[in-house]
């Protein structure tokens, strides 16, 4: 009798092993294809155009439209690069170029004046994959300082170059140079005169008296953070610094770990605010460390660092994204020009506290 069952059991076993179980098939293939198909990974870009006294009551509808359009244009340029399979580094650089070329922001055209009535520009860029970075500080003739920062990263063994040397080096690589007058804007000059009247160094956007300096909220340091289809994160920041800053002063924006940081293991971050406090707290690196060593979320890490800055008496904000393309920001000012665009279709632009 038992000899009759042996072929039957064998046949049944063969049949079961050949038959595809739809449930098993789906659950075994979906995660593995999600892990190996790069096109299914989310890519995203988040930007800021400075933080400060940015209040709805101070903005005309025309100003709101102008900022919204420029921020959207910047986001679109970076997003397009990511969508076409380009690198996060290219995305943040080209996105920053759009904002540097606009007088709406305190970077490139529209940079603030220092106490000597000059423009000294700072910028930095970082690759979260290799931790390579490049920065320029105190440059006066480079139309797009972020392009010079990229050259420092790509073509030297250094991280930061400053002043005349940085300019001479950038020239060798065909970086566009301009006369100092290119950076002049009437509004910025008025802002300098007002700041000097009060003999005070002011954070860009921050009105000492909102009524008197109602236009201050129009300008800002710019930053961008992106993650590409390969999961590489990059961050970049460009600025004219702070109105009436002492000649030769360097802020946080060109300092890796202070104004800019990117690490594929954790996140990418770009900052804006009273630079000295972002240097003293190493704000963007601190954000990454809190994620890496304290297991805080991106949002918790940013909030923690902004609180540290606030406790010391500093103002400002940061935008960031993590290795899973989650977007977050945090600021302790009244507003921050900011926005993001993600491969899941989200496209957000905000100015005010909300």
252 vs 274: CA distance, rounded Å: 8
Q: Does 207 bind ligand ASP (CB under 6 A)?
A: no
Considering only 110, 145, 268, 273, the residue that binds ligand ASP (CB under 6 A) is 273
By rule CB under 6 A, what string of x and - marks binding of each residue 112-151 to ligand ASP?
A: ----------------------------------------
Q: Does 343 bind ligand ASP (CB under 6 A)?
A: no
By rule CB under 6 A, what string of x and - marks binding of each residue 230-249 to ligand ASP?
A: ---------x-xx-------
Q: Which stretch binds ligand ASP (CB under 6 A): 126-134, 250-258, 294-302, 337-345?
A: 250-258
Q: Minimum distance from CB of 225 to ligand ASP (Å)?
A: 15
Q: Minimum distance from CB of 278 to ligand ASP (Å)?
A: 6
268 vs 288: CA distance, rounded Å: 8
Q: Does 50 bind ligand ASP (CB under 6 A)?
A: yes
Considering only 204, 228, 286, 315, the residue that binds ligand ASP (CB under 6 A) is 204
Q: Does 333 bind ligand ASP (CB under 6 A)?
A: no
Half-sphere exposure of 140 (CA within 13 A, CB side): 15
Considering only 138, 145, 251, 257, the residue that binds ligand ASP (CB under 6 A) is 251
Q: Minimum distance from CB of 220 to ligand ASP (Å)?
A: 6
Order of all β-strands in the sheet with 133-139? 160-162, 133-139, 121-127, 233-239, 222-227, 44-52, 335-342, 347-352
Q: Is 74 exposed, middle or buried (0-12, 13-18, 19+ CB in 10 A)?
A: buried
Q: Does 253 bind ligand ASP (CB under 6 A)?
A: yes
Kindly state the helix (H) or strand (E) to which residue 36 belongs, with its residue range: helix 22-36
317 vs 140: CA distance, rounded Å: 26
User: What backbone torsions phi and psi does residue 125 show, to the nearest 5 degrees?
Assistant: -145, 145
Q: Which of 117, 88, 102 is nearest to 343 (CA)?
A: 88
- Establish whether 60 is a catalytic residue: no
The C-alpha R_g of the chain, in whole angstroms, comes to 24
Strand 316-322 relative to strand 335-342: parallel, antiparallel, unpaired? Answer: unpaired
Kindly list the residues in this chain that would bind ligand ASP in the complex (CB under 6 A): 50, 106, 204, 220-221, 239, 241-242, 251-253, 272-273, 275
List, by residue number, the catalytic residues: 221
């Amino acid at each position: 009798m038992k000899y009759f069952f042996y072929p039957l059991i064998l046949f049944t076993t063969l049949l079961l092993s050949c038959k595809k179980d739809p449930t098993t098939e789906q659950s075994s293939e979906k995660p593995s294809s999600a892990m190996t198909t790069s096109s299914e990974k989310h890519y995203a870009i988040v930007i800021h155009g400075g933080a400060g006294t940015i209040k709805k009551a101070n903005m005309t509808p025309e100003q709101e439209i102008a900022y919204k359009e420029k921020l959207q244009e910047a986001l679109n340029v970076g997003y397009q690069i990511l969508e076409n399979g380009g690198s996060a580094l290219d995305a943040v650089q080209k996105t920053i170029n759009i904002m540097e070329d606009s007088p709406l922001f305190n970077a490139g055209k529209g940079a603030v004046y220092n106490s000597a009535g000059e423009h000294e520009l700072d910028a930095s860029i970082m690759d979260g994959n290799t931790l390579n970075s490049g920065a320029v500080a105190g440059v006066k003739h480079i139309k797009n300082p972020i392009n010079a920062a990229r050259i420092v990263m790509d073509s030297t063994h250094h991280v930061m170059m400053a002043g005349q040397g940085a300019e001479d080096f950038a020239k060798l690589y065909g970086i566009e140079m301009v006369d100092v007058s290119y950076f002049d804007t009437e509004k910025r000059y008025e802002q300098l005169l007002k700041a000097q009247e009060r003999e005070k160094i002011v954070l860009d956007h921050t009105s000492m008296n909102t009524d008197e300096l109602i236009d201050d909220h129009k300008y800002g340091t710019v930053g961008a953070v992106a993650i590409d289809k390969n999961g590489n994160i990059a961050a970049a920041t460009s600025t004219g610094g702070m109105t009436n800053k002492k000649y030769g002063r360097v802020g946080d924006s060109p300092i890796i770990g202070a104004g800019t940081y990117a690490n594929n293991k954790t996140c990418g971050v770009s900052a804006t605010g009273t630079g000295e406090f972002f240097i003293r707290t190493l704000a963007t690196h601190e954000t990454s460390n809190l994620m890496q060593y304290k297991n805080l979320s991106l949002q918790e890490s940013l909030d923690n660092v902004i609180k540290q800055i606030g406790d010391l008496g500093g103002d400002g904000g940061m935008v960031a994204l993590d290795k899973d393309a989650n977007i977050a920001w945090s600021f302790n000012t009244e507003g921050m020009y900011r926005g993001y665009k993600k491969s899941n279709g989200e496209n957000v632009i905000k100015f005010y506290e909300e």
